[in-house]
Structure 1
Amino acid sequence: LSLKSDDGYADLTEGEDKETIDNDEPELNDNAPLLDINLSVALYNTLKKQNIVTVGDLISKTTDELKEDFGLDAKQIKEIEEKLKAKGLTLSE
């Protein structure tokens, strides 16, 4: 199965789904900056002050840690969980 055509461009072969080839959104890794999950500015700044600056820093935390150790409230936790879920990620358990 080759996706190269004579003109050098990739062609979809019969039965292939264009959606699986064109993935506009890069996959997030642990080193991705928190900005990549589109948190509110206030929440981003709060986390940054606590030295949580990458996606990996954030997803290594549990909900309880964020509440107890970092002083985040339920609304902030909910925003984090929703933004992570949109990227296919979750907080630690």
Structure 2
Amino acid sequence: MKNLRLTFGVAALAIGSFAAFSFAPANTVNEDATGIFYRNSDGSMGDAYDPVSHPCSPSQQVCAQEYDLDTQLPTGQGIIRGVKD
């Protein structure tokens, strides 16, 4: 009886471990990765936004904005108006 209980315990542990890894996410890369970058004069993504070294002086034009890192296109979110100093 003791051997049977031990066998069931080991089997349950093995099945539990297998199940845990079977349902774990296979891809840990964030599909919706975005970031704030300076906007080049042609509207393309520039350098990473660094408000300490290069703040945006007040202006109506777009200084920096959020871009999708996969497509490098603006998301329309996180717009910072001004001119890069």
- TM-score norm. by structure 2 comes to 0.27
Q: Which has the larger radius of gyration?
A: 2
Q: Which has the higher strand share?
A: 2
Q: Whose helix proportion is higher, 1 or 2?
A: 1
